[in-house]
């Protein structure tokens, strides 16, 4: 990717009024540009790196604001270039006025361009650059920890260890291919195959972290499904501990889905209260039910809720949308049922609960999180957190399998070496050793402008 060396500037804090706003300037002329509008007891050019100085922003002789200016000199800055940060009062007018003055001598930064420059200047790796966006958007303790570990290089180190092994095995093969008659020790084919199988298992284990990694970042999608008036909205509100959904005794109150997110044990869970699944002549409700079908299909877990009537027809209809493994069967309103009735449903894997008596909700939360909880040890070792990384690891897995097959079937060491090279190329894309403009643009275009 072509590196842009011009000087850029942007507002780094969110839009709106606050205590302070921060503007960031990066590039060869950053200090010169700010010096033209900043007045202090000492010249900005004489201030050491990583030091803050108090002064005034002036438009000619007109005072705009009293500010704190911090300089970060290349290469010891976030972008690897000279960087200046201006902390002013959080007035929208003041912030925009200072940016307007800066843009007379600089260019407005593109989304994510500061982080992009940090990557292009080898200040951070590509997985760390992706983690910056994840840190900004982290909404729970676990998603924050996952992003922090990736930013500190856990995934990059895990990938680099895999690459070191591939390089070792490729070297053995290349020596056998290029110098077959030089008196070198014969290649131990059995040992190489065992090592490649171990490598494959490590890659497959890494690939498995992708599903959980995306859930950590984007949230576990949980839909509440059932016939009208079985208490879906009551359970929805109980999870949120608020009256978000309108609860009435009349069927069809929820005509479209409602969405809310909460943190369960540090995991982001996105609940969808769907329109009741039923046949209806109401055109508006039909649209709501169709939207609900789409949400259900995309959900990681589906709570199928009944209130004492078995409702096989609705359950069979639900199984046409999602596989049974994703469905959690819930018996609601157990405060209105007899013990024998409850036991009968429990024998058929229903989880009994009551939003009136607050029974069963804790167990329901535990079942929702089952099979997605990641240990902190795994987070520290590095996990995949987006589809780009997952796709690359899967390509590496496929290539490694081909390498093992070619070795097993005596197709020639050239084929095995080529397949391992393909595996290496796929992994190198993850950490940014090999990149394309399209990949970089897709990664950074979702960042905010000031980052």
Q: Is domain 218-369 in CATH 3.40.50.300, yes or no?
A: yes
8-124 CATH = 3.30.1360.120
pLDDT at position 244 is: 43
User: Which strands make up the sheet holding 62-72, listed edge to edge?
Assistant: 38-39, 51-59, 62-72, 83-90, 18-26, 8-11, 107-108
Question: Phi-psi region for residue 80, left (φ > 0), alpha (ψ -120 to 50) or beta?
Answer: left
334-341 contacts: CB < 8 A, separation 24 or more? 334/359, 334/360, 335/359, 336/307, 336/308, 337/308, 341/308
136-215+379-444 CATH = 1.20.120.430
pLDDT at position 144 is: 87
What is the Cα–Cα distance from 84 to 77, expressed in whole angstroms? Answer: 9
Question: Phi-psi region for residue 252, left (φ > 0), alpha (ψ -120 to 50) or beta?
Answer: left
pLDDT at position 156 is: 93
Residue 33, number of CB atoms within 10 A of its CB? 23
Nearest alpha-carbon partner for 224 in 318, 313, 309, 141: 318
Radius of gyration of the chain (CA): 29
pTM of the shown model = 0.75
What is the Cα–Cα distance from 166 to 9, expressed in whole angstroms? Answer: 42
Q: Which residues pair with 65 in a beta bridge?
A: 57
pLDDT at position 93 is: 95
One pLDDT digit (tens) per residue for the chain, 451 residues: 455 789 999 999 988 888 999 999 999 999 999 999 999 999 999 999 999 999 999 999 999 999 999 999 999 999 999 999 999 999 999 999 999 999 999 999 998 899 999 999 999 888 888 888 888 888 888 888 888 988 888 999 999 999 999 999 998 888 877 766 555 556 788 899 999 999 999 999 999 889 888 888 888 999 988 877 888 888 888 887 754 433 334 344 444 568 888 888 888 888 888 765 555 556 665 666 778 788 888 899 999 988 877 777 788 888 888 888 899 999 988 888 888 888 988 888 999 998 887 778 888 888 888 877 677 777 888 899 889 999 999 999 999 999 999 999 988 889 999 999 999 999 999 988 766 666 666 667 666 666 7
Write out the two tokens for 383.
Answer: 């996990």
Question: Which sequence spans correspond to the domains of the chain?
Answer: 8-124, 136-215+379-444, 218-369
pLDDT at position 437 is: 63
Nearest alpha-carbon partner for 302 in 248, 358, 235: 235
Do 8-124 and 218-369 show the same overall fold?
no
Question: Phi-psi region for residue 50, left (φ > 0), alpha (ψ -120 to 50) or beta?
Answer: left
């Amino acid at each position: 990717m072509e590196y842009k060396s011009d000087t850029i500037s942007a507002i780094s804090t969110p839009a709106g009024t606050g205590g302070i706003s921060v503007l960031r300037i990066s590039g060869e002329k950053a200090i010169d540009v700010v010096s033209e509008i900043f007045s202090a007891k000492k010249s900005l050019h004489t201030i050491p790196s990583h030091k803050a100085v108090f002064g005034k922003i002036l438009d000619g002789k007109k005072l705009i604001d009293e500010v704190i200016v911090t300089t970060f000199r290349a290469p010891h800055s976030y972008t690897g270039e000279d960087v200046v940060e201006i902390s002013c009062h959080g007035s929208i007018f003041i912030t925009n006025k200072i940016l307007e003055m800066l843009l007379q001598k600089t260019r407005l930064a593109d989304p994510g361009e500061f982080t992009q420059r940090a990557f292009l200047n080898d200040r951070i790796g590509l997985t760390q650059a992706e983690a910056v966006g994840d840190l900004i958007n982290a909404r729970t303790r676990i998603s924050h920890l996952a992003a922090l570990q990736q930013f500190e290089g856990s995934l990059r180190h895990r990938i680099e260890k895999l690459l070191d092994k591939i390089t070792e095995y490729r070297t053995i093969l290349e020596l056998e291919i290029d110098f077959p008659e030089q008196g070198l020790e014969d290649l131990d084919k059995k040992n190489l195959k065992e090592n490649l199988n171990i490598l494959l298992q490590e890659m497959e284990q890494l690939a498995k972290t992708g599903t959980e990694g995306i859930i950590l970042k984007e949230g576990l999608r949980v839909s509440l499904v059932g016939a009208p008036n079985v208490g879906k909205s009551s359970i929805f509100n109980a999870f949120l501990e608020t009256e978000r959904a309108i609860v009435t005794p009349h069927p069809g109150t929820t005509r479209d889905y409602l969405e809310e997110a909460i943190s369960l044990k540090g995991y982001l869970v996105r609940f969808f209260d769907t329109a009741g699944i039923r046949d209806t002549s109401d055109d508006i409700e039909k649209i709501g039910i169709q939207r609900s079908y789409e949400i259900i299909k995309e959900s990681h877990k589906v709570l199928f809720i009944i209130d004492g009537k078995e409702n096989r027809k609705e359950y069979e209809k639900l199984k046409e949308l999602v596989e049974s493994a994703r469905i959690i069967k819930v018996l609601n309103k157990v405060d209105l049922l007899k013990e024998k009735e409850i036991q009968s449903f429990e024998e058929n894997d229903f989880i009994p609960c009551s939003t009136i008596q607050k029974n069963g909700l804790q167990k329901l939360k535990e079942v929702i999180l089952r099979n997605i909880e990641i240990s902190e040890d795994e987070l520290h070792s590095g996990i995949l957190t987006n589809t780009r990384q997952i796709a690359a690891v899967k390509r590496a897995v496929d290539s490694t399998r081909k390498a093992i097959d070619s070795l097993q079937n005596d197709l020639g060491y050239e084929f095995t070496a080529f397949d391992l090279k393909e595996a290496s190329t796929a992994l190198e894309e993850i950490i940014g050793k090999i990149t394309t403009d399209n990949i970089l643009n897709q990664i950074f275009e979702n960042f905010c402008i000031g980052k």
